[in-house]
Structure 1
Amino acid sequence: MQLPGTPSDEVGGVLAAGRGDITTLFVSMASRHPEGRDADYLRWHTLDHRPEQHRLSAVRASLRLVSTPECRRARLPGDARFDSIDHVMTYFFTDPLGLEAFNELSGALGNAGRKIPLLPPVDRGVYGVHSKVAAPRVKVGADVLPWWPVRGVFAVLERQSVDVTPLLDVDGVAGVWSAQTLDVDASLAGARSGQHLTYCFLDDDPVAVARRLAPVLTRRWEAAGTQPLLAAPFHPVTPHEWDRHVP
C-alpha cells in the first residue's frame, strides 16, 4: 500500500523538528550457540538484558538480528573469518562516551546473577555513523529508520566505503545507514580499524531482497576493485517466538 504525502526528508519543517541524535553503533556479531540453544539465548537477551540497556540515556535504540539456513544460502561470498556469524546485536548510541556506562550496567547485571554465557563472539565493533538515506516511497526520514518496523536487514561489512545510493533502487530496500569503525579501547571492541558497515533496512523478505541485491552489489565491488568481508541477510528476532528464526 502506498502511504500518502511527501517524504519527511523533503519537508523542511519535519527536519527542523529534529534530525535524531544517534552518532555511534555498538555491533556484536556472534556464531550460533554451541549446544543449539539459540532460542533460549534469544529469550533471555530479549526479555532481560536488552531492555535494561534502555535505562541509559545514551542508548536510543537497539536491533537484534538472526540468520536462518535460508539466509545463509542467500549470502554472497565474503571473508572466511566472518562465515560463522549467525547473530548480530546493535545498540544505537548518542555518543561513544555512553559505552562506559554501558559496560558498568553490564557488570551490575552480572553481579545480580542476571547474565548467562554469551554466544561465541566473532567480531565486535564501535562504529561512527557517516551516512543515512531513506527511500522516498516509505515516507519516513532516514533519521528514524532504527525505530521503523523492518522485515529484515541486509548487512555488509567492507574494507572501504562505497556509494550506497544505488541500493535504494532495489525493491525491498527501505533505507540505508553506513558507518565506519572508531578507535576505542580493546576492552570495548576489536573490529579492525577502517572497517565499514552498511545496513540495508528491508520491508520485504530478507532472502528475496538478498537475491535482488546480489547483482547490484557484485557490480559495485567489481567497479571498486574490492571484496566484501560479509554480505548477508538477517531476520529481526520476533518476541515470544524465539525459535521462529534460528540458525
Structure 2
Amino acid sequence: MSLPGTPSDRVDGILANGDGDITTLFVSMARRHPDGTDAEYLRWHTLDHRPEQHRLAAVRASLRLVSTPACRAARAASVEPYDEIDHVMTYFFSAPSGMEGFLGLSRALGDAGRKLPLLPPVERGVYGVQSRRAADRVKVGAHVLPWWPATGVYVLLERGAEPTDHLLGVDGVAGAWTAQTLDVDARLANAPTGQSLTYFFLDDDPVAVADRLQPMLTQRTTEIRLAAPFHTIVPHEWDRYVP
C-alpha cells in the first residue's frame, strides 16, 4: 500500500528540523558462535548489552544483523576472511569522539559481571558516513533510515567506491547509506583504509532482494569483499534467524 504525501527529502520544511546527527558508524563483524548458541548470545546482547549503549549521548541508533543459511547461499560475493561473517553489529554515533565513552562503558559493564564472551571477531571498523539516499516510495528521509523498521540489510563491503543510486530502483530496497573507513585507535578497529561500506535498507525478504540485486552488483568494477543479505533481529524470537 502506498503511503501518502511528499517524500521528506523533497520538503525543505521537514529537513530544516534536523538530520539525526549521525556522522560515524562502528561496525563489528563476527563469526557464528563456536558452540552453536547464537540465539542465546542474541538474547543477551539485545536485552542487556545493546540497550545500555544508548545511555551514551553520542550513540544515536543501533542495528543488529544475522545471516541465515539461505542468506549465505544468496551472497553475490564473499571472499576470505569476510566469507566467515554471520553477525554484524552497528552503532551509529554523532561523532568519532563518542568512542571513548563507548570503551569506558564496556569496561564498566564487564566489571559488573554483565558481559558474555564476544562472538569470534572477523573485523571491526569505524566509518565516516559519505552519502545517504532514500527511495521516494518510503516517504521517510534518508537521514532517518537507521530508525526505520527494516526487514533486513544488504551489506556491500568493497575496496574503492562506485555510485549505488541506481540500485534504489530495485524492488525491496528502501534506501542506502555509504561510509568509508576512518583512521582510528587500534583498540577500536582493524578495518583497512580505503574500504567502503554500503547498507541497503530493505522492506522485503532479504534473500529475495539479494536475487534482484545480484545481476547489477556483478557489473561493478570495485573489489567486492562481501555482498550479502542479512536479517534484522526479531525481539524475543531469538532463534528465528540464526546462522
- TM-score between both structures, scaled by the size of structure 1: 0.97
Provide the rounded CA distance (Å) in 1 between the counterparts of 2:145 and 2:95.
18
2:40 aligns to what?
A: 40
What letter matches 1:161 in structure 2?
A
> Of 227, 234, 240, which aligns to 2:236?
240
**1:229 alignment partner, SS class:** strand
Provide the rounded CA distance (Å) in 1 between the counterparts of 2:160 and 2:82.
16
RMSD between superposed Cα atoms in Å: 0.6
Moved beyond 4 Å, runs of 4+: none
Q: For 1:72-83, list aligned pairs within 5 A.
A: 72-83=72-83
Shift of 1:79: 1.8
1:67 aligns to what?
A: 67
2:223 aligns to what?
A: 227
Shift of 1:81: 1.3
Cα contact 1:78–1:227 (8 A) shared by 2: no
**1:9 alignment partner, SS class:** helix
Cα contact 2:3–2:138 (8 A) shared by 1: yes
1:202 aligns to what?
A: 202
- Report % sequence identity: 71
1:121 aligns to what?
A: 121
Does 2:130 match 1:130?
A: yes
Provide the rounded CA distance (Å) in 2 between the counterparts of 1:187 and 1:143.
29
Provide the rounded CA distance (Å) in 1 between the counterparts of 2:139 and 2:126.
29
Cα contact 2:26–2:90 (8 A) shared by 1: yes
Provide the rounded CA distance (Å) in 2 between the counterparts of 1:19 and 1:41.
33
Structure 1 gap segments, 5+ residues each: none
Cα contact 1:168–1:174 (8 A) shared by 2: yes
Cα contact 1:9–1:140 (8 A) shared by 2: yes
Provide the rounded CA distance (Å) in 1 between the counterparts of 2:81 and 2:67.
16
Provide the rounded CA distance (Å) in 2 between the counterparts of 1:54 and 1:80.
33
Shift of 1:78: 2.8
Deviations 1:169-211 (A, max 9, x none): 1000000000000000101110001110000000000000000
Shift of 1:227: 2.8
Structure 2 gap segments, 5+ residues each: none
What letter matches 1:91 in structure 2?
Y
Cα contact 1:75–1:233 (8 A) shared by 2: yes
2:21 aligns to what?
A: 21
Provide the rounded CA distance (Å) in 2 between the counterparts of 1:203 and 1:71.
15
**2:162 alignment partner, SS class:** coil
Cα contact 2:20–2:60 (8 A) shared by 1: no
Cα contact 1:154–1:210 (8 A) shared by 2: yes
Provide the rounded CA distance (Å) in 1 between the counterparts of 2:167 and 2:227.
13
